[in-house]
């Protein structure tokens, strides 16, 4: 086919596009977004249907292999994942040595890189068996790593995974269970997590996924690529926004700020204050994920007095922003991170752990994107160009003459 980039390279033309606002870095058959209409589909399936009816593991299979699994395929897939949930004892030891209070995303990124060191016999990116093995290993072990990052941050003992439990059940038990007593699993919390993980599972070429692909394009091993995805996701402009939203709500509440005054602060660019959880590079309409999560937040949090106050504030913030010209003109709507933190908090997670939950949800998307990239016979190392704006050539001066 016609290759515009080759043609431009021959003519010596370089396009400058900071933040890649208009530049596609790849073709992909995984996720479709129509940002103007607020549409999101995984492999052609509307996100609304998947969020309501599917399980997270079914969606992971869909993203990675391209089709929904049969029951036999699903059982086989989950069986393989659950047999890879146990970490090497030395990796557990490594987790014990992080300081209390360490941010779970830093610990998780280190853990994912280290996982590659413990499974170094499957690192050949050109060997399909290795790629399959390490994909399953990551899906199995990352919830364990995330739960241990949390346990380690509070100095609590680590539990071993249980293969008889479902993916979400096992993760919740690893996070909140104790060695002293049986952990009781709440089916409503499990279903909410299935939905939240599904909503986070892929979002085409966002900052973390593009990072995964860029690292992958150099043929770095899959663990290194996933770990770089965790690192990119940790930023507050990306996945870290879910933590930032809750902190923002708490701050408004603690300072007794009026919502209208806070919005006025946001509109005053000099203040440097942003409405966290609002705005998106691609969605210029209501983020379909936020719409689904908002519904869940309303149902899940109404029973608990403790969180009603923050939810009410969030709803008022949204309403105030959506009827304000500043937000209307710029097409700024709530994104996926606006309501998730309230739900995670109600489930007992501290704000610092929210982004690790996002990472667990996003993992199948990163894996699917990495594999799609490596299956492309025309793939190339990612190597953006630049426009040099520095000094012209000049002569070196000995230090005593400067
Ligand atoms: N609060 C106030 N103003 C905003 C916000 C916000 N949250 N988001 C965008 N704007 C303004 C910008 O200042 C800009 O105004 P201008 O045209 O007067 O200069 C205009 O809206 C366009 O915004 P950009 O920053 O150019 O949009 P961009 O696509 O580069 O950034 C981003 C998108 C990073 C998500 C931005 O909206 C933001 O910082 N939001 C808050 C952080 C957040 O919630 N991140 C999570 C994103 S979703 C995710 O990663 C899962």
Mean pLDDT within 164-188: 94
**130 alpha carbon – ligand 1 mean position (Å):** 39
Write down the pLDDT at residue 303: 67
Backbone phi, then psi, for 224, in 5-degree steps? -60, -40
Check whether 1 has a pLDDT greater than 80.
no
Nearest to 215 by CA among 224, 207, 203, 206: 224
Residue 238 Cβ contacting ligand 1 at under 6 Å: yes
The DSSP bridge partners found for residue 334 are 278
- Residue with the nearest Cα to atom 31 of ligand 1? 281
**pLDDT-derived band at 210, boundaries 50, 70, 90:** very high
Give percent of the chain with pLDDT exceeding 70.
98
Check whether 8 has a pLDDT greater than 90.
no
Which of 238, 249, 279 has the most ligand 1 atoms within 8 A of CB, as the residue to mutate?
Answer: 279
Token pair belonging to 285 = 């309409």
**pLDDT-derived band at 356, boundaries 50, 70, 90:** very high
Write down the pLDDT at residue 302: 75
**How many angstroms separate the CA atoms of 274 and 278, rounded?**
8
Mean pLDDT within 215-242: 97
Residue 195 Cβ contacting ligand 1 at under 6 Å: no
**78 alpha carbon – ligand 1 mean position (Å):** 38
Check whether 106 has a pLDDT greater than 90.
yes
pLDDT tens digit sequence for 12-51 = 788 899 999 999 999 999 999 999 999 999 999 999 999 9
Active site residues: 280, 337
**How is residue 70 annotated by DSSP?**
P
- Residue with the nearest Cα to atom 30 of ligand 1? 281
Residue 266 Cβ contacting ligand 1 at under 6 Å: yes
- Residue with the nearest Cα to atom 14 of ligand 1? 330
Q: In 141-192, where do the E strands start and end?
A: none
Write down the pLDDT at residue 66: 98
Write down the pLDDT at residue 96: 86
Residue 336 Cβ contacting ligand 1 at under 6 Å: yes
Atom of ligand 1 nearest to the CA of 21: 29
Mean pLDDT within 105-112: 96
Residue 248 Cβ contacting ligand 1 at under 6 Å: no
Write down the pLDDT at residue 12: 79
Give percent of the chain with pLDDT exceeding 90.
86
ipTM: 0.97
Residue 277 Cβ contacting ligand 1 at under 6 Å: yes
Q: Please give the model's pTM, rounded to 2 decimal places.
A: 0.95
**How is residue 334 annotated by DSSP?**
B
Check whether 330 has a pLDDT greater than 90.
yes
**358 alpha carbon – ligand 1 mean position (Å):** 19
Residue 279 Cβ contacting ligand 1 at under 6 Å: yes
- Residue with the nearest Cα to atom 21 of ligand 1? 330
What is the per-residue burial (b if ≥16 Cβ within 10 Å, else e) of 84-108? bbebeeebbebbeebeeeebbbebb
Write down the pLDDT at residue 306: 54
- Residue 68 CB burial class (10 angstroms; 0-12, 13-18, ≥19): middle
Token pair belonging to 244 = 């930032």
Mean pLDDT within 126-133: 98
**328 alpha carbon – ligand 1 mean position (Å):** 13
3-class state of residue 354 by DSSP: helix
pLDDT tens digit sequence for 284-311 = 999 999 999 998 888 888 765 555 788 9
Check whether 185 has a pLDDT greater than 60.
yes
Mean pLDDT within 132-139: 98
Mean pLDDT within 136-151: 97
Mean pLDDT within 236-250: 95
Write down the pLDDT at residue 307: 54
- Residue with the nearest Cα to atom 24 of ligand 1? 281
**365 alpha carbon – ligand 1 mean position (Å):** 23
Write down the pLDDT at residue 58: 98
pLDDT tens digit sequence for 50-104 = 999 999 999 999 999 999 999 999 999 999 999 999 999 999 999 988 998 899 9
- Residue with the nearest Cα to atom 12 of ligand 1? 330
Backbone phi, then psi, for 296, in 5-degree steps? -65, -40
Residue 281 Cβ contacting ligand 1 at under 6 Å: yes
- Residue with the nearest Cα to atom 34 of ligand 1? 237
Residue 333 Cβ contacting ligand 1 at under 6 Å: no
């Amino acid at each position: 086919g016609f290759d515009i980039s080759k043609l431009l390279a021959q003519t010596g033309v370089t396009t400058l596009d900071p933040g890649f606002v208009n530049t596609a870095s790849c073709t992909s058959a995984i996720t479709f977004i129509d940002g103007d209409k607020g549409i999101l589909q995984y492999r052609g399936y509307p996100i609304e249907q998947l969020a309501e009816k599917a399980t997270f593991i079914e969606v992971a299979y869909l993203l990675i292999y391209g089709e929904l699994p049969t029951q036999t395929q699903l059982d086989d897939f989950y069986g393989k994942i659950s047999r890879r949930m146990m970490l090497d004892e030395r990796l557990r030891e490594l987790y014990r040595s992080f300081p209390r209070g360490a941010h779970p995303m830093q610990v998780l990124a280190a853990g994912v890189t280290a996982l590659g060191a413990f499974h170094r016999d499957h690192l050949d990116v050109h060997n399909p068996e290795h790629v399959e093995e390490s994909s399953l290993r990551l899906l199995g072990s990352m919830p364990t790593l995330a739960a241990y990052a949390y346990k380690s941050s509070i100095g609590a003992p680590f539990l071993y995974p249980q293969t008889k439990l479902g993916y979400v059940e096992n993760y919740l038990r690893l996070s909140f269970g104790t060695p002293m007593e049986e952990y009781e699993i709440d089916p409503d919390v499990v279903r909410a997590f299935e939905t939240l993980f599904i909503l986070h599972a892929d979002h085409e070429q966002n900052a973390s996924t593009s990072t995964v692909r860029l690292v992958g394009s150099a043929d770095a091993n899959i663990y290194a690529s996933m770990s770089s995805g965790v690192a990119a996701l940790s930023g507050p402009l990306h996945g870290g926004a879910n933590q930032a939203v809750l902190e923002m709500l708490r701050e408004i509440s603690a300072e007794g700020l009026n919502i209208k005054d806070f919005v006025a602060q946001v509109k005053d660019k000099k203040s440097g204050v942003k409405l966290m959880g609002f705005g998106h590079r691609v969605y210029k309409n209501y983020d379909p994920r936020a719409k689904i999560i908002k519904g869940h937040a309303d149902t899940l949090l109404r029973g608990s007095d403790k969180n009603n106050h923050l939810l009410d504030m969030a709803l008022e913030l949204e309403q105030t922003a959506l009827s304000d010209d500043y937000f209307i003109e710029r097409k700024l709507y709530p994104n996926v991170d606006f309501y998730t933190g309230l739900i995670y908090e109600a489930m007992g997670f501290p704000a610092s752990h929210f982004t690790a939950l996002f990472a667990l949800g996003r993992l199948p998307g990163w894996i699917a994107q990495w594999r799609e990239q490596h299956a492309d016979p025309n793939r190339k190392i990612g190597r953006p160009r630049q426009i040099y704006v520095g000094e012209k050539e000049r002569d070196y001066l000995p230090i005593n003459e400067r």
